[in-house]
Structure 1
Amino acid sequence: MKYLCLVYYDEQIMKNMTQAEWDALNNECIACVDGLTQSGHFVDGAPLQTTDTAITLRVRNGKASATDGPFAETKEQLAGFYMLEAESQKEVLKLAEKIPPARYGSVEIRPVRELLVEGNGL
């Protein structure tokens, strides 16, 4: 089963890191992905730019409107994601413990819901 692991942290903590601390964290993330890839659990993932680059789009009554910034003000901001393959919730929890930014914020783990589409058998 696929699980989406959404990584959240306080961007201000990251902004206060020295370049060496930031580089070390990014190197840990790269090593984490390498390990998850080698074990066959990594499907996809990516870090995100900071929330000051975000745009939130809404469509109401057929009309689109866009606003600068994320959907909601929160203490922690969405920083990136890991898409993992795991046999169970217990296994994905063990895998997500290895995601380095979890030390600075949180990782929300959600099973991916497969959509059934006519004609393709999904």
Structure 2
Amino acid sequence: MSRLTFRYHLTAETIIAYSLSIEAPIQKMGDVLIAPSTMPITFWKIADVPWLDKDNTFIHGRQSFIYKVPLKADSHLVCDLSLTKMEKKVGRSGELILYTHVLTCACKGEPIVTAETVLISIGDPL
């Protein structure tokens, strides 16, 4: 449907800030910081996702993460975000739109993580 590719430099500072914000323990592999498993959802903040209305509020309906290796500090990632499904449903609050996304991130050509996320908005899509 829709696809977007972007780059993301994962730093120790962003890992620490995110870990503290979700009250997760700081994890290390040797001397290298490891990102919490849910961190890839924050990568979207740097990407301009044209199919999502920035003025709309979204809630997470579901998310899952499949890792090949941990996300490490100082990784230069190439991320591919795809909208794989968009469906309308009727809920108690009115019409809901469910956006299913798949985010894949690689470092130096090696796959790191695949995340599937369903975002839910109320009302008509763009």
Q: TM-score, normalised by structure 2?
A: 0.30
* Larger fraction in strand: 2
* Larger fraction in helix: 1
Q: TM-score, normalised by structure 1?
A: 0.31
Q: Using CA pairs below 8 Å that are at least 6 residues apart, which structure has the higher relative contact order? A: 1
